[in-house]
Amino acid sequence: MRALRIILILVVILGGLFVIADRVAVHFAEGEVADRVRARQNLASTPDVDIKGFPFLTQMASGSLDDVALGIEDYAAPTGTEGRTIRIDDLKADLKDVKFSSDYSSATAATADGSATIAYDQLMKAAKTEPTELAPGVTAQITGLGDGGNGKIKVSVKLGIPAVGIERTIPVLSSLEVKGGKVGVRADSLPVIAGANLAEGTFRRITDFQQALDQLPGGIAVDSVRATADGVRIGVTGSDLKLAG
């Protein structure tokens, strides 16, 4: 009985040491992966990396991690226009089957799913915020974006007749769509002004616009979009993503 008790105590001690060693190893690995991702993706700050699952050491020995959570607080995404970027906030991705080299110099995820937020002031960069002529003597410009409810976006359009000093701001409820790596804003219907409908193509030159988002970290792509109180919420997905190396 005494021998059994000693064996049990040793098992508990060794188990505790293994857990400690495992947690130390995973903390080190998370830091290494974060540094590699920051370098490859040219991030302004080090991302958050959370390697899930236990034990970590057995995953490391196999060269593959089952589940890794990646978080980037803010990412300056290229817009397709030279020198211009759009800030994407709180980008989070759940990476599955992440394979890496023994020195952490390279890492590739089989799949990824996640989300992020684009603040309305950032999306405004793609909108026509300067007065644009709709018709002789009549101008229009977008002055703001906001939550229109039910996943819609509200586009505030200021109409003006500068010659007589007339200005009027109207809300235009619009839908969001994702197509070809771009987030698009399209008016659901055109307003009636002074009892007349504006020409479809003419007014849509102001209300409808797109923002390219095809250069996200690791090659993830936008697959859904929805307006919220805090900004435009995007869903992202991808496969065979090169995270480092």
The Cα–Cα gap between 77 and 160 comes to 34
> How far is Cα 46 from Cα 168, in angstroms, rounded to an integer?
46
pLDDT at position 1 is 56
pLDDT value of position 16: 45
Residue 83: HSE in the Cβ half-sphere, 13 Å Cα cutoff? 0
Which H helix or E strand runs over 51? strand 48-51
- Tens place of pLDDT for every residue, the chain, 245 residues? 554 444 444 444 444 444 566 566 677 777 777 888 888 778 888 888 888 877 767 777 677 788 889 999 988 888 767 778 889 999 999 989 988 776 667 778 899 999 999 999 999 998 888 888 877 888 888 999 999 999 999 999 998 888 777 788 989 999 999 988 889 999 998 776 544 455 566 788 888 999 988 888 888 899 999 999 999 999 999 999 887 76
Q: Which pLDDT does position 23 carry in this prediction?
A: 61
Instruction: Output DSSP code: residue 125.
Output: G
Whats the size of the chain, residue-wise? 245
pLDDT score of 132: 84
pTM for the predicted model, two decimal places: 0.82
Task: Specify the pLDDT at position 51.
Answer: 83
CB atoms within 10 A of CB 31: 13
Residue with tokens 């701001």: 169
Dihedral angle at the C-alpha atoms of 50, 52, 57, 61, nearest 10 degrees? -90
Cα 69 from Cα 37, distance rounded (Å)? 13
Q: 168-190: string of b/e by CB count within 10 Å (b at 16+)?
A: eeeebebebebeeebbbbebeee
DSSP run (H or E) holding 38: helix 2-41
Please give the pLDDT value at position 117.
Answer: 95
Q: Do the Cβ atoms of 196 and 135 come closer than 8 Å? A: no
